[in-house]
Every structure is written in structure tokens, then in C-alpha cells.
Structure 1
Amino acid sequence: MEDSQSEHQRMIRRHNREKKELQARIQSMKNSVPRSDKKRRKQMLLDVARLEAEMEQKHQQELEKFQESFPGNLDSVTEDLAKMDLENQPPRPSRAQRRRERRAALARERQERIAEAEMEHLASFRKDEEEKLRAILGAKNLEMKDIPADGHCMYRAIQDQLVFSVTVESLRRRTAEYMQKHVDDFLPFFSDPETGDSYSRDDFLSYCDDIVRSASWGGQLELRALSHILQTPIEVIQANSPAVVIGEEYTKRPLILVYMRYACSLGEHYNSVKPLEAGAVGGAPPRLF
């Protein structure tokens, strides 16, 4: 009995620890998605609901498995409850409370069905996008090289194609420093993605600080800065639009990134490229010399 009780307590403590770790992960996910980006935040909230549901289901299954392994322990608990004075029992839920609980359960079920439908829709878009990109890259004798979706993907894709050693932290720092030194070149293009309203100079400088301090996504502003820092063109290939070349004034062979709108559950993503096969024409990956 004591062993089963100790194991039960350890399991409950582990469950509490896992819940705290999940909440920390969820907070990190929320911090990484700008509030102005409604599309990413909507998908992020769906992912949060899925993670919480998965953990709740996992913990419930573990509790049920424990109860099956130690049925005697449940019998003793039942006996102890039977001995309790009924006056000490919590009051039965009211009819109104039961209605509220039923409505809440139905709302959760509807939200889960909506999330499932949206995930299926996203999977269809993702498959179509991957097929188009495969064809575009194949014509260049290239294929995608997967980069982790951790908020640093754009910088990691750049890092992957450089012949010299450089850290993501260094790329982020140098990008922020360049943008801070050339505010007037970037500020006219720094605006709210939803409304198009221009941000202030202080907003821009704060944005640059976040490049260094957080795993914030990189975009065309950062790519423009990196093309100047590396003095190299950067070509961004995408499925449904023509390729974008940033830094065309430079003559070196471009670095090539693949922009994917539907690759990740949290939103947009950048991958690197590699030769389609060894020894093929144009088989060497883009490199900075």
C-alpha cells in the first residue's frame, strides 16, 4: 500500500512539473509571435490548445493505468469515503452549474473540430506548396535542406550556406547593429503588417534590440541588412510568386533561401538548399567567397 501511494505521489508531482514546463513552453510560443500577426497568433493558439489537450489525455491515461495496476488502493479510498460524514461532502452542483458545464464541454468539442478541420486544410496547402517548390528547385538542380523551425530559421539558412564559421548569435547581432546604424534606410519600410501604419524611430530601435534578445522571425528588412553585411545577393524562392533577389548590386553568387508559408504550424519558415545530386551540373551549393 505504501509503495503504491508513493508511486502515485511521484506521478502527481511529475504531472505538475510537466504542466509547468508546458506552460513555460506556451508562454515562449506566445512571446515569439507578434500580436499584430493575427494569422500566426490564430495558428499558435490552435497549437496551444492541441498541446494542452494531448497532455491532459496523457495524464488521464497514466492515472487510469495506475488505477488498473493497484485496484486495492482504490477500494481503500472508497471505504474511507464511505466512512465520512455526509455533512462534510461538497454540495452537489446546481442545475445551472451543470448546464454551464455542458455548454463549456460542447464549446470545447466544437473548438476541437474546428482545429482539426483547419489542420487538414493547412496540410493540403502544405503539400501543394512543397510540390511546387520541389519543381522550382529541381529546375535549378537543387533541393531543400531542412532547417529547424525555432525562430532562428532565416539566420540558420544563411549560416548553412557560408563557407566560413559564424554563429547565429553573431549574425543576429551584426544585423541589428547594421540596421541601427542605417535607420533612415530602413525606417520607411518599417510598418504595421496589418494596417500599413508607419512605426516610430523608437519602435524601430526597439525592434532591432529584439533581433538580438529574442528568437524573433527575420524578414526582408533583416535580409537586406545581411546582404549588405555579407556583400552578397540573397535569392528567396517561393512557391506562388517569382523569386525575390535582395542585394542585386553585388556580383557574388547569391545565397539561396526557400520561403515557405505553410511549412510549420506556427507560420512562415525559411529553409536552405543543397545540390539535388552529387556531380550534377551546377551541383555546388551557393557559397559565399
Structure 2
Amino acid sequence: MEEGIAETPEELLAKQHRKEKKDLQAKIQSMKNAVPKNDKKRRKQLTEEITKLEADLNQKHEEEVKQLKSTTDTKVEEVINGVESLKVDGGEEEEVKQPRVTKAQKRREKKAAQEKERETRIAEAEVQNLQGVRHQEGLKLTQKLAQQQLQIKEISSDGHCMYRAVEDQLAQRSVPGLPMNVKELRSRTAQHMRSHADDFLPFLTNPNTGDMYTTDEFEKYCSDVEHTAAWGGQLELRALTHVLHLPIAVIQADSPTIKIGEEYDSEPITLLYMRHAYGLGEHYNSVERLKDPANAEDS
């Protein structure tokens, strides 16, 4: 059995950055709650203070990422120099046997490299977009959610984000009998779409010809829903409302909340649709109850 994988320095730093961002959001929410909405002058000052806090944190994170990369490069260079300096009597270099790299180690190294690249891209995108559309979208969504005593719960961006967000919402409810993992949610969604093709085919067209999907094209689409990391949208959400017998509400920054499956009389699953998330494209997040900043560390 393969041993547990220790977290790399890059993973530990990314985890620290996520916690610091979460703590800052809690602090910002507390600051907003302390200023009356009709005090326009103070609200303007508050916006400037929040912008500076976020800019300072992003600069700090960027510097820490660079420092970690520099430290890692230095250690690698020291190891290389140490190997080259090994000599045997007579001045000849001693043959140094390279340790055998296992497949499991290669997988760990590949995963760590991919995660490091992803975190770097996110950090760069956040710095570039601090005053751009992503930042503005985040502020609008935070304000909308605060009115409902909710806050963002971040979901990983891996192609499964919509299903992971639904999975998280179901886990928060702990309702017995509902599909509770991404694989099952995808499988049940595809099954429903196949068995109700007439409800979905009219909305699927070939991007090259503009014609409605053929039977084979539709089956390929459903197979991708079930077996790949194909991104989910409103068609899949519609299918999920029937699979779960629950309505789904999708909150957006610049548009009214989309409500799907309103024929089901239950508290809706709530998702957050972000058009500019992390500069990496469209993304779904989950939501959770707004935490008291004073108790955020204890939760």
C-alpha cells in the first residue's frame, strides 16, 4: 500500500495563502458591518481601506511565492555542486549512483509541479486583476451573499467545479439517500439526460454546422458528462434538479439569481457562478453560512 503523501512546501504555502485570504475576508466583512450604509463618506474611505488591504496581501503572497522558488532553486544548485565536488584519491571523480525514482515518487513530483504552476498562475492573475473585473465581481458577490448571511466557499477549479459545489451543498445538508460524490452526480446526470433526450436535444447544436445534435453526438455528449471533466452548465443543472428533486439557485454578480427546478418545493441548493474567477475562466463555487469574524479561528 502506498504511504501517505507529505505536503510539499508549495502546497503548504498555498494552504497558508488560502487561510490568510479567508481571514482577510472575515475582517473586511466585520469592517463593513461596522459602517452605516447611509454614511457615504465613511463607506468610500472603507472601500479604499479594503482595496489597500487586499493589495498588500496579494503583494505579500507574490513575494512569498518568489522567495520559495528562489530558495528551492538554491537548494537544487547546492546539491548539484556538492555532487560535482566529490573526488576520490588520485583526483578522479567518484561515481555517484543516482537513487532509483519510483513511479509513485514521479507521480508525486508531477502533481506537486502542476499544483505549483497552478498556484503561481492564480497568484499572478490575482495581482493583475486586483482592480479589474475579477476583483469587482468578487466585491459584488460578497455584498450579495452578506445580505443573505452567506459567504463564498471556494471549490477547486478542475473541470468538476459545478458538481463539487453541488456535492458540498448536499454534504452541508446531510440528507440520507442523495448522491454525495462527484462521480455519482455525473453518472446520474448523464442517465437522466439520456432517458429524457427530448428535453435536452433541442438545446444542443453542432458548433460547426449549427444543426441539432444527432443521436450519436448526443450520446457522445452524455458520455463526456459521465466520464470526463467536461464543464457543467445550465442543462446539467436542470438534469440535477430532477435527479435530486431539489431546486437550484445560481447567484451571479451582475445578473439576477437564476432559479432552476422551482417545481420542487424545498430549500434550494445555492451555487455561486463566477465569470472571471482567478483569471482562469468561468467557475462555480459553493456557499456557506456567514461566520462571525470573532469566532472564525474556532470554526
Q: Distance in 2 between matches of 1:245 and 1:214?
A: 26
Match of 2:204 among 179, 190, 195: 190
Q: Look up the match of 1:156.
A: 164
Instruction: Quote the Cα distance in structure 2 between the aligned partners of 1:153 and 1:138.
Output: 22
| Paired position in structure 1 for 2:252 | 238
Inter-CA distance 138–119: structure 2 relative to 1 (3 Å threshold): closer
Matches of 1:57 and 1:194, distance apart in 2? 47
Q: Secondary structure at the match of 1:184?
A: helix
Answer whether contact 1:149 1:264 (CA < 8 A) is retained.
no
Per-residue displacement from partner, 1:82-106 (whole Å, max 9, x unpaired)? xxxxxxxxxxxxxxxxxxxxxxxxx
Equivalent residue runs for 1:63-212 within 5 Å: 64-69=77-82, 72=85, 121-123=128-130, 124-162=132-170, 163=173, 164=175, 166-191=180-205, 198-212=212-226
Residue 206 of structure 1 deviates from its aligned partner by 0.7
Letter in 1 for 2:249: E
Cα distance change of structure 1 residues 118 and 151 upon mapping to structure 2, 3 Å threshold: closer
Q: CA RMSD in A?
A: 3.5
Identity of aligned residues (%): 47
Following superposition, the deviation at residue 264 of structure 1 comes to 3.8
For the residues of structure 2 that align with 1:70 and 1:170, how far apart are their CA atoms? Answer: 51
Conserved? CA contact 1:122–1:262, under 8 Å? no
Residues 243 and 193 of structure 1: CA distance in aligned 2, closer, same or farther (over 3 Å): farther
* CA spacing shift, 1:67–1:276, aligned 2, 3 Å: closer
TM-score using structure 2 length: 0.53
Cα displacement (A) at 1:173: 0.7
2:228 to 199, 202, 214: 214
CA 256–193 in structure 1, closer or farther in 2 if over 3 Å, else same: farther
CA positional deviation for 1:266: 3.6
CA–CA distance in structure 2, aligned partners of residues 127 and 135 of structure 1: 13
Q: 2:270 aligns with which of 256, 276, 282?
A: 256
Matching residue's letter, 1:152: H
CA shift in 2, pair 1:67/1:158, >3 Å = closer
Q: Which amino acid aligns with 2:135?
A: K
Distance of aligned partners of 1:265 and 1:195 in 2 relative to their CA distance in 1, 3 Å threshold: farther
Q: 8 Å contact 1:236–1:256 — kept in the other structure?
A: yes
Judging changes above 3 Å, is the alpha-carbon distance between structure 1 residues 71 and 174 closer, same or farther for their aligned structure 2 residues?
Answer: closer
**What secondary structure, in the 3-state scheme, does the structure 1 residue paired with 2:276 have?**
strand
Return 5+ residue gaps in structure 1 as ranges. Answer: 1-55, 81-115, 279-289
8 Å Cα contact 1:227/1:234 also seen in 2: yes
- 1:191, distance to aligned residue in structure 2 (A): 2.7
CA distance in 2: counterparts of 1:267 and 1:232, whole angstroms: 27
Does the alignment pair 1:270 with 2:284? yes
Q: Structure 2: which 5+ runs fail to align?
A: 1-68, 94-122, 293-299
Shift of 1:265: 4.7
1:170: Cα distance to partner? 1.1
Equivalent residues, number: 188
